[in-house]
Amino acid sequence: MIPVQGLSGLRVAVLGLGRSGLAAARALRAGNAVPVCWDDNPPAREVAEAEGFECLDLARANAFDGIARLIVSPGIPHLYPAPNSVVVAALDAGVPVDNDIGLFFQSFATSEWDMFDVAPRVIAVTGSNGKSTTSALIHHILEHAGRNSQLAGNIGRGVLDIEPASNGGVVVLELSSYQTDLARSLTPDVAVFTNLSPDHLDRHAGMGGYFAAKRRLFAEGGPDRAVIGVDEQEGAFLAGQLSEGAVDDRVIRVSVDRKLGGPGWNVFARKGFLSEYRNGKQAASIDLRGVAGLPGAHNHQNACSAYAACRALAIAPRVIEAAFHSFAGLPHRSQTIGEKDGVRFVNDSKATNVDSAAKALTAFGSIRWICGGLEKEGGLEGLSGAVDTVRKAYVIGREAAGFAMQLKVEAEVCGTMAVAVARAIAEAEAGDVVLLAPAAASFDQYDSFEKRGDDFVALVRAHLG
């Protein structure tokens, strides 16, 4: 646990008592603050009370009298589309609003660091797609290299649940836009921006607000090194804002669209090969085509981002390459479940938006595509250039008929996962890939993308026998 510093003896309100909220309350108490907790869900309050936390309705009159700060869980809106009433009350009372990420960066460094031979480091990863895989891959490379590493944030453990810093240790954080948008302190040593595509637009009032939330990771604290995917205009703009000039190697530019030139520090992938260039000269090259855990161009982008972040910590290219080959990938992200009669089954339930689904589609040939769910803003037009290898779509979700009508491929309305998997199996031929890449959120039928992926996996494994 990371005890919270700077709030000793003060009453701190915690809104939302899920994983991050409870962890924040525990860390506040460990730092001698006095947590005052609330969740609209009675069972969540019962769990907190069982741990000895005081629960008081933060929506009541004068609730913020004597409160030093409000800590908000990431699922609770603080600005758009409309702020939670408790957040409004805190702001009206002049109480600062923060989250567990802000508390982490406020509290991670301690006086004990003076005794370390090698200072601990924090690598923070954000972006629209590939955050989880990039974060997990960085963590895997560090462990392969013999570095003490912890994985936390939006993946792994809660940021305040991890162990205190160790000599030379590295913390790898995956941070969503919800987390970066509100944190009052953001000071990673290495910050990674994978890419940007439309997502969570209602929460950020459009693309400008969404990009601004991601940009805070780089603007608030000024990382020592910034790894920036420059294939979208927002990434190119961000890299330009952070750089002092063409030779400024504090910015490492990443691309899977083109070869990057110039005298700076560049990492890019073309035709399955990762290349690192510094000062206009090639420093390393890795053949990614045989890396089973990183299939497709979107995973090559993840590989480039992870490679650059680890090179920023002076890990040798050949050590990184060896770690690539032992990386198994993450569940629900281009996860191969198995093969039968020449048909391969791949679970990419994490492809919850159009851009991530398009990248999954371009990673494979001859696809039987299971898609659909709760459609996000922006429609499905972004899929039109990625469906050339799709033989047929099998559409799930409560609005499956409307979803299917927007697709530029032959589509069958299936409704449920069971029907979609059965129909895809019945029609698949040797050489086909049955791919779950929904291009939609799961919440019309499932509690999470993980539950959706688990359903697909269970059905496929029953078929594999």
Query: At 384, which helix (H) or strand (E)?
Result: none
Residue 23: its pLDDT value, please? Answer: 96
CATH of the domain at 360: 3.90.190.20
Rounded to whole angstroms, how far apart are CA atoms 170 and 189? 10
CA 342 distance to own-chain centroid: 33
As a whole number of Å, the CA-based R_g of the chain is 23
Instruction: Note the pLDDT tens digit of each residue in 105-143.
Output: 999 999 999 999 999 999 999 999 899 999 999 999 999
* Residue 62 known to bind ligand: no
Q: Tell me: pLDDT of 400 over 90.
A: yes
Is 4 a domain residue?
A: no
If asked whether residues 77 and 169 sit together in one domain, one would say no
**Residue 430, SS3 per DSSP:** coil
Residue 239: its pLDDT value, please? Answer: 97
Q: Which residues of 433-450 are buried (b: 16+ CB within 10 A; e: fewer)?
A: bbbbbbbbbbeebbeebe
- Taking the CB of residue 288, how many other CB atoms lie within 10 A of it? 22
Residue 327: its pLDDT value, please? Answer: 94
Residue 153 CA neighbour count, 13 Å, CB half: 30
Cβ atoms of 69 and 13 within 8 Å: the answer is yes
Pull the structure tokens for residue 453.
Answer: 């992926």
Backbone dihedral angles phi then psi of residue 394, each to the nearest 5 degrees: -120, 110
If asked whether residues 378 and 442 sit together in one domain, one would say yes
Residue 200: its pLDDT value, please? Answer: 85
If asked whether residues 281 and 340 sit together in one domain, one would say no
If asked whether residues 389 and 254 sit together in one domain, one would say no
Q: Tell me: pLDDT of 374 over 90.
A: yes
Rounded to whole angstroms, how far apart are CA atoms 80 and 93? 20
> What's the mean per-residue pLDDT of the chain?
95
Rounded to whole angstroms, how far apart are CA atoms 123 and 138? 9
Pull the structure tokens for residue 359.
Answer: 């990248």
If asked whether residues 186 and 64 sit together in one domain, one would say no
Q: What's the CA dihedral at 401, 406, 409, 415 to 10 degrees?
A: -20
Backbone dihedral angles phi then psi of residue 458, each to the nearest 5 degrees: -65, -40
Residue 310: its pLDDT value, please? Answer: 98
If asked whether residues 362 and 247 sit together in one domain, one would say no
Residue 381: its pLDDT value, please? Answer: 87
Percent of the chain at pLDDT > 70 equals 100
Angular region, 171: left φ>0, alpha ψ -120 to 50, beta rest: beta
Pull the structure tokens for residue 86.
Answer: 């408790």
Residue with tokens 């009370």: 49
Instruction: Note the pLDDT tens digit of each residue in 64-109.
Output: 999 999 999 999 999 999 999 999 999 999 999 999 999 999 999 9
Is 231 a domain residue?
A: yes
Instruction: Note the pLDDT tens digit of each residue in 169-211.
Output: 999 999 999 999 999 999 999 999 999 988 888 999 999 999 9
Rounded to whole angstroms, how far apart are CA atoms 13 and 243? 39
Out of 70, 98, 126, a domain closes at: 98
Listed ranges 222-236, 287-301, 376-390; the one with the highest mean pLDDT? 222-236
Q: Tell me: pLDDT of 253 over 90.
A: yes
Residue 156: its pLDDT value, please? Answer: 79
Which residues constitute the domain of residue 419? 335-464
Cβ atoms of 459 and 418 within 8 Å: the answer is yes
Is 243 a domain residue?
A: yes
Is 435 a domain residue?
A: yes
If asked whether residues 363 and 389 sit together in one domain, one would say yes
Cβ atoms of 368 and 434 within 8 Å: the answer is yes
Q: Which residues of 158-190 are buried (b: 16+ CB within 10 A; e: fewer)?
A: bbbbbeebeeebbbbbbbbbbbbbbbeebbbbb
**Residue 192, SS3 per DSSP:** strand
* Residue 127 known to bind ligand: yes
Percent of the chain at pLDDT > 90 equals 90
* Residue 126 known to bind ligand: no
Out of 98, 118, 139, a domain closes at: 98
Q: Which residues of 113-122 are buried (b: 16+ CB within 10 A; e: fewer)?
A: eeeeeeebbb
Pull the structure tokens for residue 16.
Answer: 């939302």
Residue 431: its pLDDT value, please? Answer: 97
The DSSP call for residue 441 is B
If asked whether residues 139 and 250 sit together in one domain, one would say yes
If asked whether residues 418 and 310 sit together in one domain, one would say no
* Residue 359 known to bind ligand: no
| Confidence label for 292 from pLDDT (cuts 50, 70 and 90) | confident
Q: Which residues pair with 104 in a beta bridge?
A: none
* Residue 130 known to bind ligand: yes
| Confidence label for 221 from pLDDT (cuts 50, 70 and 90) | confident
If asked whether residues 185 and 117 sit together in one domain, one would say yes
- Residue 81, preceding peptide bond in cis (omega within 30° of 0): yes
What is the count of structural domains for the chain? 3
Backbone dihedral angles phi then psi of residue 78, each to the nearest 5 degrees: -115, -10
User: End-to-end distance of the chain based on CA atoms, in angstroms?
Assistant: 43
Residue 298: its pLDDT value, please? Answer: 87
Cβ atoms of 104 and 331 within 8 Å: the answer is no
Instruction: Note the pLDDT tens digit of each residue in 411-445.
Output: 999 999 999 999 999 999 999 999 999 999 999 99
